[in-house]
Structure 1
Amino acid sequence: MSHAVVHALTAARSLLPHRSDYASLRRTWRGDLLAGLTVGIVALPLALAFGVSSGVGAEAGLVTAIVAGLVAAVFGGSHVQVSGPTGAMVVVLAPIVATHGVGAVALLSVLAGVIVVLLGATRLGRAVAYIPWPVVEGFTLGIGVIIFLQQVPSAVSAHVMPGQNTAVAAFEALGAAPWPRAVASVGVVVFVAAVTLLVPRLHRAFPASLIAIVAASFGAALLGLDVERIGSLPPSLPAPSLPGLADLPELTGPAVAIAALAAIESLLSARVASGLAGPDGRTTGPYNPDRELVGQGLASLAAGFFGGMPATGAIARTAVNVRSGGRSRLAAIVHALVLLGVVYLAAPLVAQIPLAALAGVLMVTAGRMVSVRTARRVLGSTRHDAVAFVLTAVITVSFDLIVAIQIGLVAAALLTLRQFAKLGGVRREPIVGPAHDDDERIAVFRLDGLMFFGAAERILSEISGLSSAPGIEVVVLRLSQLRYLDATGAQALVEVIRLLEARGITVLLKGVQEQHLQLVQRVGVIAELRHHRHLFDSLDDAVEHARSHVHRARSV
Structure 2
Amino acid sequence: MTTASLGDRLGGAVRSLLPSRADYRDVRRTWRRDLLAGVTVGIVALPLALGFGVSSGLTAEQGLVTAIVAGVLAAVFGGSNVQVSGPTGAMVVVLVPIVAAHGPQTVALVSILAGLVVLLAGVLRLGRAVSVIPWPVIEGFTLGIAIIIFLQQIPLLTSATQASAGAHSSNALVAAVQSLVEADWGYVPWAVGAALVVIACMVLAQRLQPAVPGSIVGVVLVTLLCAFVATPLAVIGALPSALPAPSLPDVPISALPGLAGAVLTVAALAAIESLLSARVAGSLEDTGRFDADRELVGQGIASIGSGVFGGMPATGAIARTAVNVRSGARTRLAAIVHAGVLLLVVLAVAGPVGMIPLAGLAGVLMLTAWRMVHAGTVRSILRSTRADAIAFVLTALVTVAFDLVIAVAIGVVFAGVVAIRNMAGGTAAVLEPLPGEHESGDERIALVRLDGPLIFASAERVFERVTGLDGVAVVILRASRIEHVDATGAHALADIVRALERRGITVLLKGVRPAHEDLFRRIGVLGSLRHQNHLFDELPDAVAHARRHAAQGAATDRSTSRNAAGEDAQDDAPA
Percent identity at matched positions? 49
Alignment of 1:213-252 (within 5 A): 213-234=219-240, 236-241=242-247, 247=253, 250=256
Q: Please say if residues 83 and 317 of structure 2, whose CA atoms lie closer than 8 Å, have aligned partners that are also in contact.
A: no
Tell me how far 1:477 sits from its aligned partner: 0.6
Q: Please say if residues 232 and 351 of structure 1, whose CA atoms lie closer than 8 Å, have aligned partners that are also in contact.
A: yes
1:260 alignment counterpart: 268
Q: Please say if residues 32 and 327 of structure 1, whose CA atoms lie closer than 8 Å, have aligned partners that are also in contact.
A: no
Structure 2: distance between partners of 1:286 and 1:364: 32
Q: Residues 520-544 of structure 1: CA distance to partner in whole angstroms, max 9, x if unpaired?
A: 1111112222333222222222222
My pick for the range that moved more, 293-302 or 220-229, is 220-229
Structure 1: distance between partners of 2:286 and 2:376: 16
Alignment of 1:441-460 (within 5 A): 441-460=444-463
1:126 alignment counterpart: 128
Q: Please say if residues 93 and 149 of structure 2, whose CA atoms lie closer than 8 Å, have aligned partners that are also in contact.
A: no
My pick for the range that moved more, 499-508 or 353-362, is 499-508
2:124 paired with 1:137: no
CA RMSD of aligned residues (A): 3.3
Structure 2: distance between partners of 1:292 and 1:491: 41
2:544 alignment counterpart: 544
Structure 1: distance between partners of 2:289 and 2:179: 39
1:427 alignment counterpart: 430
2:369 paired with 1:393: no
1:507 alignment counterpart: 507
Structure 1: distance between partners of 2:282 and 2:181: 38
Q: Residues 442-491 of structure 1: CA distance to partner in whole angstroms, max 9, x if unpaired?
A: 111000121112221222222233x13xx222111111111212211111
Structure 1: distance between partners of 2:216 and 2:328: 12
1:194 alignment counterpart: 200
Structure 2: distance between partners of 1:147 and 1:178: 21
Q: Residues 417-437 of structure 1: CA distance to partner in whole angstroms, max 9, x if unpaired?
A: 111112221100001111111
The structure 2 residue matched to 1:185, chosen from 179, 185, 191, is 191
Structure 1: distance between partners of 2:39 and 2:534: 76
Alignment of 1:38-49 (within 5 A): 38-49=44-55
Q: Residues 372-393 of structure 1: CA distance to partner in whole angstroms, max 9, x if unpaired?
A: 1112222233222222222222
My pick for the range that moved more, 232-241 or 314-323, is 314-323
For residue 527 of structure 2, give the secondary structure of its aligned residue in structure 1.
Answer: helix
Q: 1:461 to 1:448 in 2, by over 3 A?
A: same
Tell me how far 1:200 sits from its aligned partner: 2.5
**TM-score, structure 1 normalization:** 0.86
Tell me how far 1:15 sits from its aligned partner: 4.0
Letter in 1 for 2:462: I
2:375 paired with 1:372: yes
For residue 533 of structure 1, give the secondary structure of its aligned residue in structure 2.
Answer: helix
My pick for the range that moved more, 104-113 or 478-487, is 104-113
Structure 2: distance between partners of 1:154 and 1:105: 21
The structure 1 residue matched to 2:102, chosen from 97, 101, 114, is 97
Q: Please say if residues 34 and 334 of structure 2, whose CA atoms lie closer than 8 Å, have aligned partners that are also in contact.
A: no
Q: Please say if residues 119 and 297 of structure 2, whose CA atoms lie closer than 8 Å, have aligned partners that are also in contact.
A: yes
Alignment of 1:476-495 (within 5 A): 476-495=476-495
1:413 alignment counterpart: 416
Structure 2: distance between partners of 1:284 and 1:149: 35
**TM-score, structure 2 normalization:** 0.84
Q: Residues 4-44 of structure 1: CA distance to partner in whole angstroms, max 9, x if unpaired?
A: 83795387246425214756331253343132023123312
Q: Please say if residues 35 and 325 of structure 1, whose CA atoms lie closer than 8 Å, have aligned partners that are also in contact.
A: no
Structure 2: distance between partners of 1:241 and 1:199: 41
Q: Please say if residues 477 and 507 of structure 1, whose CA atoms lie closer than 8 Å, have aligned partners that are also in contact.
A: yes
Q: Residues 64-110 of structure 1: CA distance to partner in whole angstroms, max 9, x if unpaired?
A: 34322332233223424221373144146437736xx94x6555543
Q: Which has the greater radius of gyration?
A: 2
Structure 1: distance between partners of 2:330 and 2:217: 19
Letter in 2 for 1:370: V
Structure 1: distance between partners of 2:61 and 2:393: 38
Tell me how far 1:339 sits from its aligned partner: 4.6
2:566 alignment counterpart: none
Letter in 2 for 1:68: A
My pick for the range that moved more, 263-272 or 505-514, is 263-272
The answer for unaligned runs of 5 or more in structure 2 is 557-575
Structure 1: distance between partners of 2:208 and 2:66: 36
2:562 alignment counterpart: none
Q: 1:323 to 1:287 in 2, by over 3 A?
A: same
2:441 alignment counterpart: 438
Structure 1: distance between partners of 2:70 and 2:151: 26
1:87 alignment counterpart: 92
Structure 1: distance between partners of 2:445 and 2:510: 14
Letter in 1 for 2:515: Q
